[in-house]
Amino acid sequence: NAGVMQNPRHLVRRRGQEARLRCSPMKGHSHVYWYRQLPEEGLKFMVYLQKENIIDESGMPKERFSAEFPKEGPSILRIQQVVRGDSAAYFCASSAGVVETQYFGPGTRLLVL
Amino acid sequence: DQQVKQNSPSLSVQEGRISILNCDYTNSMFDYFLWYKKYPAEGPTFLISISSIKDKNEDGRFTVFLNKSAKHLSLHIVPSQPGDSAVYFCAPSRSGAGSYQLTFGKGTKLSVIP
């Protein structure tokens, strides 16, 4: 049973470009969460999605960031017009239910030059 | 504002001895506490949890203690093994609305010396 998959594992972008991060939850999981870890910090909650619905995006920056979890395919975290401050590790987690344990993927390390 | 503090960025322990990792929190609404372990270049892995109705939970070599009045919890690993070398995150949450939002500390890097 494969765990949470994230790709790419590493992503380099220049300022102003777009970054697309993908997350495939564990089989049977329909709840997806995105967290961001800035250097020397703990993980910070960004957004919680279920299939085709954003449930809570209270942790998302108001501009340039968006997330989706379509009926088919992986969840996507999209960052438009990236800036150097977006450089971080982005982790996706999934769970079978909202009160169930969250299982994390290996993360995508984004570097903005 | 840091709701979760892990004041020791790093800890070194001899193999076979006890490792004690501490975590303090300020939000009295937290009532469920998780510990995650993270190896380099991997995502956090769930380790052990405790509900606020308990003051101790044990799972093999891992025991978590909760002191609600002090808003403090600790993770004990005994005996420590080299494979335990990792970063450990304390991650409280609260029941009800927003229970899925884990609030992570900055982590403590544990090094177990053979």
The pLDDT profile of chain A, 113 residues, written as one tens digit per residue, is 579 999 999 999 999 999 999 999 999 899 999 999 998 888 999 999 998 899 999 999 989 999 999 988 999 999 999 999 999 999 999 999 877 889 999 999 999 99
Distance CA B36, CA A4 (A): 16
Please classify residue B4 by burial: count the beta carbons closer than 10 Å to its beta carbon, then call 0-12 exposed, 13-18 middle and 19+ buried.
buried
Strand partners, B56: B65
Q: Which residue has the higher pLDDT, B94 or B78?
A: B78
Q: In the numeric block, which tokens belong to residue A47?
A: 């957004």
Nearest C-alpha of chain B: how many angstroms from A18?
A: 23
Q: How many CB atoms lie within 10 A of CB B24?
A: 18
Note whether B102 contacts A: Cβ–Cβ < 8 A. Answer: yes
In chain A, which residues have their Cβ closer than 8 Å to the Cβ of B104? 35, 42-44
Distance CA A48, CA A27 (A): 17
Residue B86 and residue B110 in contact, taking contact as beta carbons nearer than 8 Å: yes
Nearest C-alpha of chain B: how many angstroms from A40?
A: 7
